[in-house]
Amino acid sequence: MSLSLLRPAARSAFRQSARIALATRTFHASSSRRYPGDGGLSNILSGGAAPAVEVKTITPNGIQLADGLILNSACIFLNAKVFLWNVPQGLWDGWKPEHFEIFDTVVPKPEILLIGTGERLEMPPPALRQYLAKIGVQVDVMNTRNACSTYNLLAEEGRRVAAALLPITPRKWEGAPPA
């Protein structure tokens, strides 16, 4: 069999299979890829995996994360990680810029820092606000419930958000060195 005879036959077969494919193809804008465990659905708005830190609820016992961990003392959520935060017992009494210097050393800096001040909103002293502005961190101060809710929302959107949170019921971090 000559090569010249195969080429027209191959072209004819290709044309026939293309006509069949076009006649039976359903049109849609999304991919038909299936991922294990997702039921064939994917979140097209998501920028990647879900945030590693997500608050489930706030109680007088502490901040409960989606994975079940309860944080009963002050904490920081930064770059999808949780850090225990050693701060003075009294709100804003004895606080210094050093309590926020982690936000100056981390790369990349968060777009926004949410400060949760416990049960009630209490603005930080001007010296702390000036320090945070000087290091280039935008700050939003609110009570801890609202800070956690806002954190969840911004983290889900894929924003570079950090939260510095005080518990609803003030507690000292057990075993912590002096603040």
pLDDT at 23 over 70: no
Instruction: Say if residues 87 and 73 touch (Cβ distance below 8 Å).
Output: no
CATH 3.40.1230.10 fits 55-166, yes or no: yes
Indicate the average pLDDT of the chain.
79
Q: So what's the pLDDT on residue 39?
A: 47
pLDDT-derived band at 142 (thresholds 50, 70, 90) equals very high
pLDDT at 1 over 70: no
Q: What is the spatial distance between Cα 179 and Cα 177, in angstroms, rounded to a whole number?
A: 6
Which whole number is the average pLDDT over 151-158? 93
pLDDT at 28 over 50: no
Of residues 43 and 168, more confidence is placed in: 168
**Cut 0.85: pTM above it:** no
pLDDT at 70 over 80: yes
> Per the structure block, which two tokens stand in for 16?
């026939």
pLDDT-derived band at 95 (thresholds 50, 70, 90) equals very high
Peptide bond into 60 cis (omega under 30): no
Q: So what's the pLDDT on residue 7?
A: 53
pLDDT at 68 over 60: yes
- CA-nearest of 143, 139, 114, 117 to 128 is 139
Stated as kind and residue range, the H or E segment containing 163 is strand 161-166
| Extended strands (E) in 31-160 | 55-59, 62-65, 70-71, 75-78, 81-84, 112-117, 138-142
> What share of the chain has pLDDT > 90, as a percent?
56
Three-state DSSP class for 94? coil
Three-state DSSP class for 86? coil
